[in-house]
Amino acid sequence: MKKTFYALALAACGLGSLPSAFAQNRLAPGKLVLPRRECATMDVLTAQLKEDPGLAQRLEAIESHTRSFQRMRTSGKPTPGTTTTVTIPVVVHVVYNTTDQNISDAQVQSQIDVLNEDFNKLNKDVSKVPSLFSGVAANTGVKFVLAQRDPNGKTTNGIVRTQTKVSSWSTNDAVKSAKRGGDDAWDATKYLNIWACNLGQNLLGYAQFPGGKASTDGVVILYSAFGSRVKNPDGTYTSTYDLGRTTTHEVGHWLNLRHIWGDASCGNDYVDDTPTQQTANYGCPSFPHVTCSNQGDMSMNYMDYTDDACMYMFSTGQSARMNALFAAGGARASLLTSPGVTAPLTGSLIAKSQVTLYPNPATDVLNVALPESSLAGWSVKVFDARGYEMKQAQFSEGQLQINQLPRGLYQLTLTKGNQAVNQRFQKD
């Protein structure tokens, strides 16, 4: 039956109609009506597909890559997120019109902390997962840090503040453009961009899936649904969306997760271990809520529409779907070598002239000679012309193995503590 549903869903929508963005409702401050998260996927999708004729094809390529990855993981081969850590540098663009909207560094940090708990199954409320699903509640292995180095190589705390005359924003991505009163994205191949701002139209947030335009890549969150009231009580929050789960949900989309009900009646979320469910759940449903002949909806999944306090798990299948993006050829694999995760180095331990690299150009082995007899305590890294760390160059005992490096110019950086010396070399 499930396969039939998949086929029908695919036939009805086609891959080109996979949601490329979505939106959620918020409770207007002081409003007594119960809030509901809702989705504006199709409107935004239609606009993006119209504007970007290559999008449908790119989404299809990502799906194909994801399926190959899932087969690889099932076969037991080492894959990112399980055998290696995925650390994503984050820049938070706080775009504010009023003082309230200019949320504190502490509120921003509380959101990063929530992301790290939720994506690594360190959230305390994971203990509430019903026994039916406890076996598939997943640690995704994805970690988040506020960027320490900006795109120009300068020190940053990962938070950019922009005062604006714009009092309210919509899903038209204006908040991602300095020309339109917002703030431009940082290089999306190296950073997760998050905009915290006053989203209007009763929106809580929206995201762009992998495969979209770099200039609009990232997630947008209502400032008062950003961060956690529990971790940072002094912040500004919207009731029932005050535990940071809106951002967990949106970043889930940014990492290619669909809504748990597949945006159709008993639809397909491209994940095998989440039960087929009829539609979104709201508020805080009791378990089990049986639909589509399942044993109960996974309404406590971050990709449902429940209140922040009532969503507390990703599944193993969702984790694999996200991890696929970081495998070789994955749509977000470039983040693994982002310089944003480490602070720029200051000062030089020794004079540049005291470091000798030979032979230069080199083919297989580059010798690194220093005035110190021992290289103990030194860390050696190699960066390409774009500033990406080249992890295939292995260093030991004064020699750098470069046979795996493509031909080209590189920078070798020797560091000790916060001090560094750089030298260039050529691989032939």
- Those residues whose C-beta lies under 8 Å from the C-beta of residue 297, and which sit 6 or more positions away, are 260, 261, 275, 277, 278, 281, 285, 288, 289, 290, 291, 304
Tokens representing 347? 């000062």
Tokens representing 322? 């996200």
CA–chain centroid gap for 223, Å, is: 18
Q: Which is nearer to Zn ion, 252 or 317 (CB)?
A: 252
CA angle 128, 132, 138 (to 5 degrees): 65
Q: Which is nearer to Zn ion, 22 or 314 (CB)?
A: 22
Write the DSSP assignment of 179-210 as a string of letters.
GGTS-PPP-TTT-EEEEEE-B-TTEEEEEB-T
Q: Which is nearer to Zn ion, 22 or 169 (CB)?
A: 22
Write the DSSP assignment of 29-84 as a string of letters.
TT--SPP-----HHHHHHHHHHH-TTHHHHHHHHHHHHHHHHHHHHTT---BTTTB
Q: Which is nearer to Zn ion, 109 or 246 (CB)?
A: 246
**H/E segment holding residue 247:** helix 245-254
Write the DSSP assignment of 210-221 as a string of letters.
TTS-GGG-SEEE
Query: Which residue, among 222, 235, 163, 153, has the nearest Cα to 194 in the 3D structure?
Result: 222
User: Both ends of the chain: CA-CA distance in Å?
Assistant: 57
Q: Which is nearer to Zn ion, 22 or 241 (CB)?
A: 22
The identity of residue 364, as a single letter, is D
**Residues at the interface with Zn ion (CB under 5 A):** 22
Cβ–Cβ < 8 Å for 22, 207:
yes
Q: Which is nearer to Zn ion, 90 or 303 (CB)?
A: 303
Phi (first) and psi of residue 352, to 5 degrees: -55, -35
CA–chain centroid gap for 59, Å, is: 17
**H/E segment holding residue 134:** helix 131-134
Q: Which is nearer to Zn ion, 164 or 319 (CB)?
A: 319
Q: Which is nearer to Zn ion, 22 or 226 (CB)?
A: 22
- The closest residue (CB) to Zn ion is 22
Catalytic residue among 60, 250, 389, 397: 250
> Is 60 one of the annotated active-site residues of the chain?
no
Query: Which residue, among 179, 158, 205, 152, has the nearest Cα to 37 in the 3D structure?
Result: 205
Cβ–Cβ < 8 Å for 289, 299:
yes
Catalytic residues: 250
